[in-house]
Amino acid sequence: MEHRPMRRQDRQLSLEEAWAILKDNDYGILAVTGDEGWPYAVPMNYFIRNGEIYLHCAQEGHKLDAIARDERVCFTVVAQHDLIPSQITTVYKSTVVFGRAALVDDQKEKRILLAALVDDLGEVSPEIKAKYIQSKQAKTALVKITPQHITAKANQKYIPVTQRM
């Protein structure tokens, strides 16, 4: 896939900064091609392991049906969004990932990844962690996104509105 260059290249961040945004956050929007070609975007928690993005969800539903039809996805994380009403602008930082999604089927890998999920998103005792993994492994799907193209963009300072007119 040929990717479009970012229109505002003056705001483009490096690949390292894009990964930093992904690693420093835990909430993003997964976009898939839904039923009858309609876009479907859903907010989801995520975690990163070995350069891949992992999402957890129920074992059936709209997003999994969409991924089964078309593995191509887009995942967006907004790390900062501060509206500056008096200047008619926003200070922001975000990352967009184009990738291919697949279900994690191997049960050993799934158990290891569920443990990583608990480590990244939870703060529980080892006993609760073990019980959680045991109770959720059979009921939880894990989606792995393998990034194909990543961009990040930021507007960390602004030109006053009076200078932009």
Q: Express each pLDDT in 55-100 by its tens digit.
A: 999 999 999 999 999 999 999 999 999 898 998 989 999 999 999 9
Residue 2 lies in a domain: no
φ/ψ of residue 111, rounded to 5? -65, -45
> How much of the chain exceeds pLDDT 70, in percent?
99
pTM for the model: 0.92
Residue 124 lies in a domain: no
> What does the pLDDT look like over 23-40, one tens digit per residue?
999 999 999 999 999 999
Structural domain boundaries enclosing 75? 9-105+142-156
Domain count, the chain: 1
d(CA 74, CA 96): 7
Residue 69 half-sphere exposure, CB side, CA atoms within 13 Å? Answer: 13
Contact 125, 133 (CB under 8 A): no
Residue with tokens 């008096």: 86
Residue 121 lies in a domain: no
Q: Helices (H), strands (E): how many in the chain?
A: 4, 7
Flag whether pLDDT at 165 surpasses 90.
no
d(CA 9, CA 18): 14
**Domain containing residue 63: CATH number:** 2.30.110.10
Residue 146 lies in a domain: yes
Residue 130 lies in a domain: no
d(CA 157, CA 146): 32
Q: What is the mean pLDDT of residues 127-152?
A: 93
Q: When comparing pLDDT for 124 and 46, which is higher? A: 46
Residue 45 lies in a domain: yes
